[in-house]
Amino acid sequence: MKFIQGQDRTQIHIFPVSLDATIDQDNEVRTIDLFVNSLQLKDFGFRVDFPENGRPAYHPSDILKLYIYGYLNKIRSSRDLEKECKRNIEVMWLLNSLHPDHNTISNFRRDNPDAIKKVFRVTVQMAKHFKLIGGRLLAGDSTKFRAQNSKKNNFNHKKIKRHSAYIDNKLDEYNKKLSEADEDQKQEIEEDIDKQNKRKDKYRDIEQQLKETGEVQVSTSDPESRQMMIRNHISEVAYNVQTTVDAKHNIPIVIGK
């Protein structure tokens, strides 16, 4: 039986195909490349001036291209984006075969949140310029996704006050036991006291964070998640994802938490 045969992997070609020739002219990566190259990144808040000494840095335009590509293709993990740089021919073309590691990608997102938001606002302006969105009739909806952060690791002022009062009561009990204990028991009780004091310091730090930020609650595992009502008076620590769609061509124009 005959089958379509692939090429020999060890075959040497007399006329090699360039990386550019492997990417179709209408491929989305060409649009990403053109879009980012048209931006004055310094005006958006990206750092483009680096000292000559030491190891050279990646240009922010390259990491931004990778970030936008990942956004369009639902690749959010920094480690997954790092893998794509080494195995995805579209990303190889887009980054000129650069392959930044996951720490570089993660740090870029961490250090440039406001600048990245400004870039996405420009995409909306471009869509309006080319009349892809009307901006007159919008439809909005939202949904809640449960976060990895547990309720145990979500705190507000009332919860911190309750935990601190419990710790104070436990410390009073331990101190009373310590005064009555013999030498063999004292070490164990002192360890318990030290453990409770460390917990109290942790809650004090979280309460200070709430005061400094003005937030009403804080999640220690997923900082951007919040405890909210999901359904039927059931609360979970979750993300509230909201989507706004323009009526003209049903294009999502705003996605946020």
112-127 per-position pLDDT tens digit: 999 999 998 998 888 8
Examine the pLDDT at 1 and tell me if it is beyond 80: no
Q: What is the pLDDT of residue 196?
A: 93
Identify whether 7 is part of a domain.
no
Q: Beta-strand (E) ranges in the chain? A: 138-146, 154-156, 217-219, 226-231, 234-246, 252-256
My answer on whether 122 and 207 are in the same domain is: no
Residue-range definition of the domain harbouring residue 63 = 20-130
Distances (CA, A) of 138 to 72, 133, 195, 242: 22, 10, 54, 13
Count of domains for the chain:
3
My answer on whether 242 and 139 are in the same domain is: yes
Q: Specify the pTM.
A: 0.62
Distance from the first to the final alpha carbon of the chain:
56
My answer on whether 243 and 139 are in the same domain is: yes
Cα separation, 70 vs 77, in Å, equals 9
Residue ending a domain, choose from 130, 162, 180: 130
pLDDT band at 256, cuts 50/70/90?
A: very low
My answer on whether 33 and 58 are in the same domain is: yes
Cα separation, 252 vs 173, in Å, equals 58
Residue ending a domain, choose from 130, 162, 196: 130
My answer on whether 254 and 171 are in the same domain is: no
My answer on whether 226 and 185 are in the same domain is: no
Token match 């310590």: residue?
178
The 10s digit of each residue's pLDDT in 51-92 is: 777 788 899 999 999 999 999 999 989 999 999 999 999 999
170: tokens are: 């436990």
Asked if 142 contacts 240 with a C-beta cutoff of 8 angstroms, the reply is yes
Identify the residue with better confidence: 180 or 20.
20
- Indicate the helix (H) or strand (E) that contains 191: helix 183-213
My answer on whether 61 and 86 are in the same domain is: yes
Asked if 139 contacts 190 with a C-beta cutoff of 8 angstroms, the reply is no
Determine phi and psi for 129, rounding to 5 degrees.
Answer: -60, -40
Task: Tell me the β-bridge partners of 90.
Answer: none
Helix (H, G, I), strand (E, B) or coil at 145: strand
Token match 């984006």: residue?
81
Mean pLDDT of 216-232: 89
My answer on whether 227 and 140 are in the same domain is: yes
Identify whether 197 is part of a domain.
yes
Q: How many helices (H) and strands (E) does the chain have?
A: 9, 6
Identify whether 8 is part of a domain.
no
My answer on whether 121 and 227 are in the same domain is: no
Identify whether 1 is part of a domain.
no
Q: What is the pLDDT of residue 257?
A: 43
My answer on whether 210 and 99 are in the same domain is: no
Examine the pLDDT at 38 and tell me if it is beyond 90: yes
My answer on whether 253 and 225 are in the same domain is: yes
According to DSSP, the β-strands at 234-246 and 226-231 are: antiparallel
Q: What is the pLDDT of residue 151?
A: 92
Identify whether 159 is part of a domain.
yes
Identify whether 10 is part of a domain.
no
Average pLDDT, the chain: 89
